[in-house]
Amino acid sequence: MNRFQVFPALNIGNAHIRPRRLRINKNIRSLVQENKLQKSDLIFPLFISEKGTKRYEIPSLSGIFRIPYDELLTEVEEIQKLGIKAIMLFPVIEGTKKDDYGTEAYNPEGLMQNCIRKIKETFPNMILFVDVALDPYTLHGHDGIIDEKGYVLNDETVEALCKQSLSYAACGVDFVCPSDMMDGRIAAIRTILDKDGYIGTSILAYSAKFASAFYGPFREAIASGARGLDKKTYQLNPANSREAIREAILDIQEGADMVMVKPGLPYLDILSKIKSQSEVPVVIYQVSGEYAMLKCAAQNNLIDEKAAVYESLISMKRAGADLIVTYYAKWLCENLL
């Protein structure tokens, strides 16, 4: 048989169907591309440290820094010039301000409160998402208030989260982002925000936040001392999907304006399932461990960083993400978008 002879199978039935026609060159591939990654899809996480501190590169997150409060506006200006429309703030506070109850979280003159006011005064169009949880503020590193046995108390924690959310709303935040995984906290926060007149303050709920091994660098970044801490009594079991969907549906019913899946790449199936049932936008968080692995592989010439980062993020869009929280946001705008 001539090696260029057409296979018999192509001579019958659907011989005219050749999907490769739509891949024949770059322009055609672009024309029929189903999903696109855009700057408007990105939320950049930003770690802010206290007044008088110095810019500090986080060892496990190459290229990511703790930004001193005094340099905050310079950093936000740079982010805005790159075309990024949204940032998510995380505090790095002094150890002397931490206690067992995380009371610094709702200090009217606290680090996050001052950051929100400062950014909104200078860059009113920058969309601010601010994490709501107690782990940056507690001595023990848990996301809530614990009892004498170390168990995180649900209702007592929710009360503190309501105070924290209210204090952020008073400063002009766009989205409060409860990441604690306490039961009923979305309804409680929505109720108190509305009661105090902050009807326009939105809630992004960390609805499907899993007890993941990929959070290590983040915990170093915020100096929570929680790297080896067991949070399985409130974060989701990585083996479960129905439970994650249930959590997202409950949060939507309780008033969440957006819901989140966290981490990213290992949970694309969860993202897809929640997206199919969600009435609100769905966000995914490409977490610190995912970023660190990609960076490490790229720095050791094991992968093409541009291609691998794009592939990982477009997979999130393909699975249904409306927005992506990623430490690669600035890098993407400088190198790809």
Q: What is the pLDDT of residues 253-291, one digit of tens each?
A: 999 999 999 999 999 999 999 999 999 999 999 999 999
Superfamily of domain 40-335: Aldolase class I (3.20.20.70)
Q: Which of 98, 231, 262, 273 is catalytic?
A: 262
Distances from the Cα of 245 to the Cαs of 233, 259, 269, in angstroms?
Answer: 18, 11, 11
Task: Tell whether the model's pLDDT for residue 325 goes beyond 90.
Answer: yes
- Is 39 tagged catalytic? no
Residue 208: its pLDDT value, please? 98
- Residue ranges per structural domain of the chain: 40-335
Q: Which residues pair with 65 in a beta bridge?
A: 57
- At residue 223 the predicted structure's pLDDT band, cuts being 50, 70 and 90, is confident
Residue 69: its pLDDT value, please? 97
- At residue 225 the predicted structure's pLDDT band, cuts being 50, 70 and 90, is low
Q: For residue 253, which of 180, 192, 203 has the smallest C-alpha distance?
A: 203
Residue 226: its pLDDT value, please? 56
- At residue 12 the predicted structure's pLDDT band, cuts being 50, 70 and 90, is low
- Weakest mean pLDDT among 123-127, 174-178, 214-218: 214-218
Residue 217: its pLDDT value, please? 86
Question: Over pLDDT 90: what percentage of the chain?
Answer: 89
C-alpha angle 207-210-211 in degrees, rounded to nearest 5? 140
Q: Which residues pair with 262 in a beta bridge?
A: 209
Task: Tell whether the model's pLDDT for residue 15 goes beyond 90.
Answer: no
Task: Tell whether the model's pLDDT for residue 93 goes beyond 60.
Answer: yes
Question: Over pLDDT 70: what percentage of the chain?
Answer: 94
The answer to whether the bond into 136 is cis (omega within 30° of 0) is no
- Is 118 tagged catalytic? no
What are the structure tokens assigned to 6, written together? 């057409």
Q: What is the pTM of this model?
A: 0.93
pLDDT digit string, tens, across residues 167-190: 999 999 999 999 999 999 999 999
What are the structure tokens assigned to 139, written together? 């001595």
- Weakest mean pLDDT among 124-133, 221-230, 236-245: 221-230
Helix 185-195 vs helix 242-254: crossing angle, to nearest 10 = 10
Residue 77: its pLDDT value, please? 98
pLDDT digit string, tens, across residues 29-70: 999 999 999 999 999 999 999 999 999 999 999 999 999 999
Q: Centre a 10 Å sphere on the Cβ of residue 242 and count the other Cβ atoms it contains.
A: 8
Q: Is 109 annotated as a binding residue?
A: no
3-state secondary structure 209-268: EECCHHHHHHHHHCCCCCCCCCCCCCCECCCCCHHHHHHHHHHHHHCCCEEEEECCHHHH
